[in-house]
Amino acid sequence: MVRTEAVQISDLEIHYFLTIIRRMGARDVVRLGTLGPSGTSSEYVARLVLDSLTENKKYDLVLETTFESCISKLLNDELDFVLVPHAYLGINDFYMNPRLEPAMIFRADTPRYGLATRKDYPFEPDMLQREVIVSHPAPVPLIKHYLGEDVQITLVNSTSEAALRVKNGEFNVAITQVSHSS
């Protein structure tokens, strides 16, 4: 089993995945798509997975704006594989599509999440009841759990987009990866 701090892939899953890669033939570069922009949890995990593969292949990581775009490009042979987290609300679109098949299933930790605010925003915890929090849908249950109450949330496609929206002044507070604090 490949184990790093954040990704655990069984030897069987790696063997199966590498068998698929070998069947692809002489293609020099394997194209892996996932959710962008740069800095998403999906990109983070994709890079961990690519770093753990020992096959003598080159990999291009393609970052898309949505997972739906990933499906479209995969079905049009513009991508070879797509990395999709189980936290994605539309995961059924992948599992239930008769033209798609899981190539590898593994466990991976995302980077730590936290509240991000603009540098010029005088944050105080009680403001969370008044402010709209921008977030990807996946961490929303965490927000409700840790705050112990309902809050106003605007959803975006990624935690990176949430951080960017705060940085650009569209929102004051985001849930994003700790490394993205604005």
pLDDT digits (tens, 9 = 90+) for 57-113: 788 999 999 999 999 999 999 999 999 998 888 889 888 999 998 888 888 887 888
Q: Which residue has the higher pLDDT, 129 or 164?
A: 164
User: What pLDDT is recorded for position 113?
Assistant: 85
Give the pLDDT mean for 32-57: 84
Domain end (from 108, 123, 154): 108
Task: Identify whether residues 78 and 60 lie together within a single domain.
Answer: yes
pLDDT computed for residue 114 by the predictor: 86
Same domain, 96 and 118: no
The whole-model pTM stands at 0.76
Q: Are 122 and 149 part of one and the same domain? A: yes
Q: Show which of 108, 128, 152 is a domain's final residue.
A: 108
Number of domains in the chain: 2
Please check the confidence at residue 1 and state whether its pLDDT lies above 70: no
Of the three residues 61, 87, 108, the one that is the final residue of a domain is 108
Q: Could you tell me if 92 and 19 lie in one domain?
A: yes
100 and 126 co-located in one domain: no
Res 56: pLDDT: 65
Q: Which residue has the higher pLDDT, 6 or 87?
A: 87
CA 117, distance to chain mean position in Å, is: 21
Q: Domain check: are 93 and 6 in the same one?
A: yes
The domain in which residue 79 lies consists of 2-108
- Which pLDDT does position 55 carry in this prediction? 63
The enclosing domain of 21 has a CATH number of 3.40.190
pLDDT at 2: 54
Q: Around 120, how many Cα atoms within 13 Å sit in the side-chain half-sphere?
A: 5
Q: What is the pLDDT of residue 182?
A: 41
pLDDT tens sequence across 149-164: 788 999 998 888 999 9
The whole-number pLDDT of residue 180 equals 46
Write down the mean pLDDT value for the chain. 85
d(CA 85, CA 108): 9
Statement to judge: residues 85 and 164 lie in one domain: no
List all residues 6 or more positions away from 37 whose beta carbon is below 8 Å from its beta carbon.
63, 65, 158, 160, 161, 164
Are 126 and 100 part of one and the same domain? no
Same domain, residue pair 123 and 173: yes
33 and 90 in contact (C-beta within 8 Å)?
no
Clarify whether residues 24 and 78 are in a common domain.
yes
> What count of residues does the chain have?
182
